[in-house]
């Protein structure tokens, strides 16, 4: 089972040009706000009509601009959970769910409703209106309604963003079980890389309306490949880069030459280094991939300490010149602003990035 989408939609000020395929697993659509993630789901669900393209779910064509196929939303059998859950405010929980069951043509509406109440732990809420439900209860009702019509694929648009941190963690655990039980293709839209890492097997990065190739979540975090993917994966340190040898680059913003753990291509534009892969050394340290720096700021965090440094000879006005180092609490006790230190970066920790 799979979901394939090739979507072109031009609004003048924004253009969506997306193509990807997700299998019978949870595929994340990861991107910054305004990059076209929600618009993509709207096109697949039939809420928005693409200018061109083709959408296929489990071999069934939902939209094909060349063939003139454009199934209405109720015939697409695609469940969509909106960010705000979109429950009908003037309907009770029972009415919200039963209307979807009825539209699916089922005759045993009451039996189906009872089964959903048990599965999503919403028994006893049947006569409640959405305004009388907690955030977690609304989430479960919306999930029940989304699956009430026996969809062939389900799509979730930022489903946890409206919840506070404790409830989000609780609901995420429940959501993980629901997605695992579904067994069909799932698209999970988020700008939160941690959610995608925990909930998705595959991921498709979206940047300014365009998609990158689908890959595993592990591949994204280990080798993002582009600056946009690296930013979304949570990397904090970047420098514009120029190839200077088979496996060496000049980090232009850091005023340093670094050895890399793999051959450097001609299309190199940036390098990235994750903050927790950088080691702090004493001033005057020498060796491969060691950069002399001045400490700018020491910031205590909950479980670590963040040390911001400026490489010697780097222009502090450049966006990427500062380097963030994340240390355990004990490692940073003797470091203070103004100190001269050295940082060490292993060649395998240098990520080579295209534009």
At 333 the pLDDT is: 66
Cα–Cα separations (whole angstroms), residue 64 to 2, 80, 158, 219: 17, 20, 27, 32
- Identify the residue with better confidence: 135 or 188: 188
Question: What's the pLDDT score for residue 153?
Answer: 95
Note the pTM of the prediction, 2 decimals.
0.86
More confident residue, 166 or 267: 267
Which stretch of DSSP H or E encloses residue 93?
Answer: helix 93-103
pLDDT value at residue 167: 72
Using only C-alpha atoms, the chain has a radius of gyration, in whole angstroms, of 24
51: how many CB neighbours lie within 10 A of its CB? 13
pLDDT at position 134 is 86
Q: Where in the chain is the domain with CATH 2.40.50.140?
A: 235-353
| pLDDT of res. 145 | 92
| Average pLDDT of the residues in 136-148 | 88
Examine the pLDDT at 199 and tell me if it is beyond 90.
Answer: yes
Would the pLDDT of 105 be above 90? no
DSSP characters over 250-278 = EETTTTEEEE-SSPPPTT--EEEE-GGGE
Question: What mean pLDDT comes out for the span 278-306?
Answer: 91
Report the range of poorest mean pLDDT among 143-157, 162-176, 184-198, 252-266. Answer: 162-176
- Name the helix (H) or strand (E) containing 17: strand 15-22
Is the model's pLDDT at 269 over the cut of 90? yes
Q: Predicted confidence band at 325 (pLDDT cuts at 50, 70, 90)?
A: very high
Q: What angle do CA 195, 199, 203 make, to 5 degrees?
A: 85
How much is the average pLDDT of 70-96? 91
Whose CA is closest to 155, among 138, 172, 166, 142? 142
More confident residue, 302 or 324: 324
At 19 the pLDDT is 97
Q: What is the pLDDT at residue 220?
A: 94
Longest dimension (CA), the chain: 78
φ, ψ of residue 58 to 5 degrees: the values are: 50, 40
Residue 229 in this model has a pLDDT that exceeds 90: yes
Q: Can you spell out the DSSP letters for 175-242?
A: HHHHHHHH-S-EEEEES-HHHHHHH-SEEEEEETTEEPPPEEHHHHHH---BHHHHHHTT--EEEEEE
pLDDT of 341 reads 94
For the residues 195-221, what does the mean pLDDT come to? 95
For residue 239, the cross-strand partners are: 271
The pLDDT-based confidence of 177 (bands split at 50, 70, 90) is confident
pLDDT at 331: 67
Q: Which two tokens stand for residue 88?
A: 């009908």
Which pLDDT score is estimated for 176?
A: 84
In degrees, rounded to 5, the angle at the alpha carbon of residue 67 between the alpha carbons of residues 46 and 38 is 25
- The average pLDDT across 310-320 equals 93
**3-225 maps to CATH 3.40.50.300:** yes
Q: Is the pLDDT of residue 103 over 80?
A: no
pLDDT tens readout for residues 13-27: 999 999 999 998 999
Q: Give me the residues paired with residue 190 across strands.
A: 30
Which helix (H) or strand (E) is 137 found in, with range?
Answer: helix 135-148
Q: Which two tokens stand for residue 25?
A: 């697993």
- Give pLDDT tens digits for 30-70: 999 999 999 999 999 999 999 999 999 999 999 999 999 99
Average pLDDT over residues 185-211: 94
Average pLDDT, the chain: 92
CA gap 252, 235 in Å, rounded? 18
Q: Cα 226–43–59 angle (5° rounding)?
A: 90
Q: What does each C-alpha distance from 13 to 34, 51, 84, 210, 328 come to in angstroms?
A: 12, 15, 26, 14, 46
Cite the residue boundaries of each domain of the chain with CATH code 3.40.50.300: 3-225
CATH topology of domain 235-353: OB fold (Dihydrolipoamide Acetyltransferase, E2P) (2.40.50)
């Amino acid at each position: 089972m799979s979901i394939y989408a090739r979507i072109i939609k031009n609004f003048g000020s924004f253009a969506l040009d997306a193509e990807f395929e997700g299998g019978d697993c949870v595929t994340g659509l990861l991107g910054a706000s305004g990059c076209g993630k929600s618009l993509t789901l709207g096109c697949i669900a039939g809420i928005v009509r693409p200018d061109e393209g083709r959408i296929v779910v489990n071999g069934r064509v939902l939209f094909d601009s060349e063939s003139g196929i454009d199934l209405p939303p109720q015939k697409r059998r695609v469940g969509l959970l909106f960010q705000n859950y979109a429950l009908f405010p003037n309907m009770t929980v029972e009415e919200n769910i039963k209307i979807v069951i009825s539209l699916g043509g089922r005759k045993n509406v009451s039996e189906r409703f009872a089964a959903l109440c048990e599965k999503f732990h919403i028994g006893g809420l049947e006569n409640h209106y959405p305004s009388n439900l907690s955030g977690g209860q609304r989430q479960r009702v919306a999930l029940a309604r989304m699956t009430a019509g026996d969809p062939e694929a389900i799509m979730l648009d930022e489903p946890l963003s409206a919840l506070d941190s404790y409830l989000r963690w609780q609901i995420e655990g429940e959501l993980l079980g629901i997605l695992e039980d579904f067994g069909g293709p799932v698209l999970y839209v988020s700008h939160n890389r941690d959610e995608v890492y925990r909930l998705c097997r595959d991921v498709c990065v979206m940047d300014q309306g365009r998609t990158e190739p689908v890959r595993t979540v592990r591949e994204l975090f280990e080798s993002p490949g582009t600056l946009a993917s690296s930013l979304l994966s949570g990397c904090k340190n970047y420098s514009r880069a120029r190839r200077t040898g088979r496996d060496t680059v000049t980090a232009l913003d850091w005023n340093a030459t670094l050895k890399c753990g793999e051959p450097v291509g001609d299309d190199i534009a940036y390098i990235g280094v994750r903050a927790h892969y950088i080691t702090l050394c004493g001033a005057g340290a020498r060796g491969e991939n060691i950069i002399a720096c001045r400490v700018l700021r020491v910031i205590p965090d909950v479980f670590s300490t963040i040390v911001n440094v400026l490489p010697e000879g780097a222009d502090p006005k450049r966006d990427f010149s500062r380097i963030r180092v994340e240390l355990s609490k004990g490692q940073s006790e003797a470091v203070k602003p103004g100190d001269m230190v050295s940082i060490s970066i292993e060649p395998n920790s240098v990520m080579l990035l295209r534009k």
